[in-house]
Amino acid sequence: MTVAQRVLERLLRKGERARLRGDTDPASLSMTGERDGREYRALRTLDAHEAFHGVIAMAERAGAIHVQRDRHRGEGDALLRIIVADLDVLAVHLGLPLLDARVQIAAARLGPWRAQFPVIDDVLARWRSDRKVRDHGPEAADDLADAAMVVRARRTEDYAERILRRESARLFAGRPQASKRLEKLTPWLDLLASGQLAADGLVDTSHVWALLGLRREPQPLLIAGSGTLLLDDGVELPLATRFLGVPMEAVRSIRTVARSLLSIENLASFHDATRASGADRLLLVYTGGMPSPIWRQAYTRLLASLPTDATVLHWGDLDEGGFRIAATLAATAADTGHRLQPWRMSPDEVPQALASEAAVPTPTTLAAMCRWARRAGWDGIADALQARPLCIEQEALPTGLPTDTATPD
């Protein structure tokens, strides 16, 4: 694209915005101005000037623009201002569809998905007002439509666990780089799954995939403790204090004398916990990061087998993702009549030596952490984060376990 073509495209987009606002004055660009005329004034050779003027003259002859020239300098052809004469003619001349046309194309592409995903109507409305969604305009309609197809397929399968790239290759068979296509759709998958135009904090790709039952590798349910795990087809397996791994979808219930269940976000911390003193007195469950729908189904069945007064806790990272996971688990626990409680997830419980070296979250990240903590029902922790903002990974914290009857602050 030449310098003159870039200038004309910029004029076209400015004209589109003016039309959306209902401006009566035609849009224009000053070729003597610091911003709009910078590229024009930077031309140094006669050939470059002639090439620029030639492109502008062709658009003028087509009836797309008016040009104001300085008749008192040089040959009288120095450009002062380029003005839109006919926006539609300018679009045709440049071979660039106007916003209305681009949104119409996007709406037609997304039409079959609008009933299933009402947020798509919000996306189209945003595009019609010349605003971007997830940093993209209507040219992203194909990606959004592909994401809708993925979410529908996941819903149809009740979010059964699938391997990410294998599922991508299956869903997009015949496409270039089919196995990687799904990963590129992550922002749109998050939009459709959350129903929100803007991301709620930073988008953790693995969290988005997990919420749809997609994993990079197979993920069994890892559980440690004392008791018997009941699986489908009447299979009974004695638990092991180190851990037992079983297919998530096979879990039906549990028989145990334990009165506390602690879910743990990270694998290293889970294994450390299984070796800690008191591990045989409670149930330990590894979430695998963000718990998937199938994991949450198994979690629900475990909680439903416990007494209603059993203590249900969670231990994870003190960061945005960690509190988002906690909020997800809290909602699942509430469905079984249990209240999820935090274990070592307050900044006040971080040893001073570690706290002094911990990262300080940005104001945006801190706000997201507090928001997710409050959604988990942990208002006290949200207040503590406001007073002592920090981010620290679970693996950096010393391992310690609650007793069966312990109730954290």
Dump pLDDT digits (tens) for 284-332.
999 988 999 999 999 999 999 999 899 999 999 999 999 999 999 999 9
pLDDT at 22: 86
CATH architecture of the region 222-396: 3-Layer(aba) Sandwich (3.40)
For the chain, the average pLDDT equals 92
Could you tell me if 132 and 167 are in contact, meaning their C-beta atoms sit under 8 angstroms apart? no
Could you tell me if 100 and 135 are in contact, meaning their C-beta atoms sit under 8 angstroms apart? no
pLDDT at 76: 53
Rounded Cα distance, 61 and 59, in Å: 6
CATH of region 3-94, choose from 1.10.540, 3.40.630, 1.10.3470, 1.10.10:
1.10.10
Rounded Cα distance, 75 and 50, in Å: 12
Q: What is the CA radius of gyration of the chain?
A: 29
pLDDT in tens, the chain (409 residues): 899 999 999 999 999 889 888 888 999 999 998 889 999 999 989 999 999 999 999 999 999 999 998 876 555 578 999 999 999 999 999 999 999 899 999 999 999 999 999 999 999 999 999 899 999 999 999 999 999 999 999 999 999 999 999 999 999 999 999 999 999 999 999 999 989 998 877 778 999 999 999 999 888 999 999 999 999 988 999 998 889 999 999 999 999 999 999 999 999 999 999 999 888 889 999 998 899 999 999 999 999 999 989 999 999 999 999 999 999 999 999 999 999 999 999 999 999 999 998 999 999 999 999 999 999 999 999 999 999 999 999 999 988 898 754 444 4
pLDDT at 94: 93
Which residue has 């706290």 as its token pair? 355
Which residue has 């590798």 as its token pair? 217
241-264 confidence digits (pLDDT tens): 889 999 999 999 999 999 999 999
pLDDT at 350: 93
Rounded Cα distance, 152 and 387, in Å: 43
pTM value > 0.85: no
Domain layout of the chain by residue ranges: 3-94, 99-215, 222-396
CA-angle at 128, arms to 124 and 132, nearest 5°: 75
pLDDT at 278: 84
Query: Cα 369 to chain center, whole Å?
Result: 15
